[in-house]
Amino acid sequence: MTTTETENERGAIKELETKCLHLPHDEERRRYDATFGAISYPIFQTAAFEHPGVRADYQPGQDHISLSSGHNYTRESNPTRDHLEKLIAQLENGETALAMSSGMAAITLLLNHFRSGDQIIVDSDLYGGSIRLFAEYGERYGIKFTRCDLTKDDPSAVATDRFKAIYFETPTNPMTHVVDIEKYAKFAHDRGALCVVDNTFLSPYFQNPLDWGADVVVHSGTKFLSGHHDTIAGFLVVRDRALGDELKLLSTTVGSALAPFDAWLVLRGVRTLSVRLDRAQENAFKIVEALQKQPHVTRVFYPGIESSPGYAIMKKQARGFGAMISFETDTKERAISTLTKVKTIVFAESLGGVESLITYPIAQTHASVPPDVLDANGLTDRILRLSVGIEGASDLIADLDQALNS
Ligand SMILES: *Cc1c(COP(=O)(O)O)cnc(C)c1O
């Protein structure tokens, strides 16, 4: 075998498990040139980069980046962050990925793309922070956010001539509603609008919205991507280069990109994304089965339940069902006492990490959501949300049992 053949073979990355660890060969080679062959990509903890000189063909008015060795200032770009962005773009089959300081920073950056008077149709069941952000931006900057339950209502009834984007999560937080990406990407494109999907709950390991026509993927990198409850991060991934360039310039302008050390933490987390998610999902199925037999649990929400309304769409657009479960207890008192009685599972507000966490959405993630929206989404004071980690399943089941029964 010639060297070229070997290189090509190594460059052809097809499987997601490999994509979590390696970039194509030419990218890798550049990486090794810059890092002495370090296996773990180094943290370039620097604010600025030395310039080798001024280019001979420099003309006044040119972007000063043309003077530098590729990097200029970490608000604009940084090798550690760039490496992470390439890896996330690869995992989501996107053209450009931007690593931001949080999921909310990523969503806020995207909102800068729109103008006062533009309409964004948003699904009614969303992460509480997104609902709050949209309410604030709607009121302060005149972007018109129109809520629509995309699992049952037709958004064409509410689309105006300033309709610019449709925004949803699938599965949703916390009710695990499933939204058909292909259907709403087409709906948006037919009207010259963008389709934006928050893919936090499944991560690119289980779902790639861009493959189904979405234009922008949003991630809270705090969750499954970093996976260890130790950093806050967010991502935007886009298909269109021009939109990517626009968002990149906005990111440089507003200054909300991810810091090098945090980028490195996410890089470390992404390496084990596939094994963590396989294990967490395996645990989730066992827990769902146990919860369905639990006398004090009245309903279990998990898109992997065959009789659940979104099951067929999940089978179409996702490769797995994830590790997020919500369930309803028989009384509000039991929901509240369960939170303090769990011993292995931690009562805390986040998700997607190796440790299992339980939350009370109505008082935590969704505390700022108006009561009528909660009612419409069926989010009651008896619903708990469980982010399943990678512990032994029987320990988690025993822990839930003792907490629910005592
Ligand atoms: C957590 C979360 C966010 C916000 O991300 P942060 O990293 O906390 O800013 C957005 N969307 C979903 C679905 C989330 O779970």
The per-residue pLDDT for 253 is 96
Q: What number is the average pLDDT over the span 213-226? A: 98
Say if 18 falls within a structural domain.
Answer: no
Ligand 1 atom 7, closest CA: 103
Are 153 and 30 members of one domain? yes
Quick one: residue 53, left, alpha or beta (phi over 0 = left, psi -120 to 50 = alpha)? left
Quick one: which of 377, 313, 368, 57 has its CA closest to 170?
313
Cα(244)–Cα(239) distance, integer angstroms: 8
Q: Is the pLDDT of residue 268 over 80?
A: yes
What CATH number has the domain bearing residue 80? 3.40.640.10
Query: In terms of residue numbers, what domain contains 45?
Result: 23-270
Are 211 and 304 members of one domain? no
Domain boundary among 249, 270, 291: 270
Is 198 tagged catalytic? yes
Please report where in the chains the tokens 């089941």 appear, as a residue. 397
Q: Is the pLDDT of residue 66 over 70?
A: no
Cα(215)–Cα(87) distance, integer angstroms: 18
Say if 7 falls within a structural domain.
Answer: no
Say if 4 falls within a structural domain.
Answer: no
Q: pLDDT band for position 11 (50/70/90)?
A: low
Are 172 and 48 members of one domain? yes
Catalytic residue, from 81, 164, 223, 239: name it: 223
Please report where in the chains the tokens 């550049």 appear, as a residue. 30
Residue 102: what residue type? S
Q: Is the pLDDT of residue 37 over 70?
A: yes
Q: What number is the average pLDDT over the span 321-330? A: 97
The per-residue pLDDT for 160 is 98
Residues of the chain with pLDDT > 90, as a percent, come to: 80
pLDDT in tens, 17-33: 999 999 987 777 777 77
b vs e for 344-359, b when ≥16 Cβ sit within 10 Å of the residue's Cβ? Answer: bbbbbebbbbbebbbb
Quick one: which of 372, 73, 307, 111 has its CA closest to 216?
111
Q: Is the pLDDT of residue 88 over 50?
A: yes
Q: Are strands 297-301 and 324-329 parallel, antiparallel or unpaired?
A: antiparallel
Say if 329 falls within a structural domain.
Answer: yes
Residues in the chain: 406
The per-residue pLDDT for 173 is 85
Domain boundary among 240, 270, 300: 270
Q: Is the pLDDT of residue 4 over 50?
A: no
Are 266 and 277 members of one domain? no
b vs e for 257-277, b when ≥16 Cβ sit within 10 Å of the residue's Cβ? Answer: bbbbebbbbbbbbbbbbbebb
Cα(32)–Cα(49) distance, integer angstroms: 19
Are 50 and 137 members of one domain? yes
Atom of ligand 1 nearest to the CA of 234: 7
What CATH number has the domain bearing residue 367? 3.90.1150.10
Are 263 and 284 members of one domain? no
Are 33 and 113 members of one domain? yes
b vs e for 195-216, b when ≥16 Cβ sit within 10 Å of the residue's Cβ? Answer: bbbbbbbbbbbbbbbbebbbbb
CB neighbours (10 Å) of residue 194? 21
Cα(179)–Cα(169) distance, integer angstroms: 7
Quick one: which of 233, 199, 232, 231 has its CA closest to 218?
199
Are 151 and 93 members of one domain? yes
Q: Are strands 163-169 and 119-123 parallel, antiparallel or unpaired?
A: parallel
Is 276 tagged catalytic? no
Is 230 tagged catalytic? no
The per-residue pLDDT for 67 is 65
pLDDT in tens, 284-314: 999 999 999 999 999 999 999 999 999 999 9
Distance between Cα 295 and ligand 1 center (Å): 32
| Pocket, ligand 1, Cβ cutoff 6 A | 102-104, 127, 129-130, 169, 173, 198, 200, 220, 222-223, 232, 234, 351
Say if 12 falls within a structural domain.
Answer: no
Q: Average model confidence (pLDDT) for the chain?
A: 92
Cα(44)–Cα(264) distance, integer angstroms: 9
pTM higher than 0.85? yes
Q: Is the pLDDT of residue 263 over 80?
A: yes
Catalytic residue, from 198, 215, 262, 399: name it: 198
Are 263 and 120 members of one domain? yes
Say if 8 falls within a structural domain.
Answer: no
Q: pLDDT band for position 1 (50/70/90)?
A: very low
Given a contact cutoff of 8 angstroms between Cβ atoms, the answer to whether 73 and 64 are in contact is no
- Of residues 223 and 2, the one with the higher pLDDT is 223
Domain boundary among 252, 270, 288: 270
Are 38 and 184 members of one domain? yes
DSSP letter for 95, please.
S
Q: Are strands 234-238 and 96-100 parallel, antiparallel or unpaired?
A: antiparallel
Say if 157 falls within a structural domain.
Answer: yes
Are 254 and 123 members of one domain? yes
Residue 126: what residue type? L
Say if 247 falls within a structural domain.
Answer: yes
Q: pLDDT band for position 5 (50/70/90)?
A: very low
Q: How many domains is the chain built from?
A: 2
The per-residue pLDDT for 6 is 43
CA distances to 283, 321, 327, 356, 393 from 288, rounded to whole Å, are 9, 12, 9, 14, 11
Are 171 and 71 members of one domain? yes
- Record the tokens describing residue 355, joined without a space: 């440790």
Task: Specify which of 34-43, 87-96, 373-382 reaches the highest per-range mean pLDDT.
Answer: 87-96
Quick one: which of 386, 334, 331 has its CA closest to 358?
386
- Record the tokens describing residue 79, joined without a space: 């090798």
Given a contact cutoff of 8 angstroms between Cβ atoms, the answer to whether 149 and 124 are in contact is yes
- Of residues 125 and 251, the one with the higher pLDDT is 251
Is 239 tagged catalytic? no
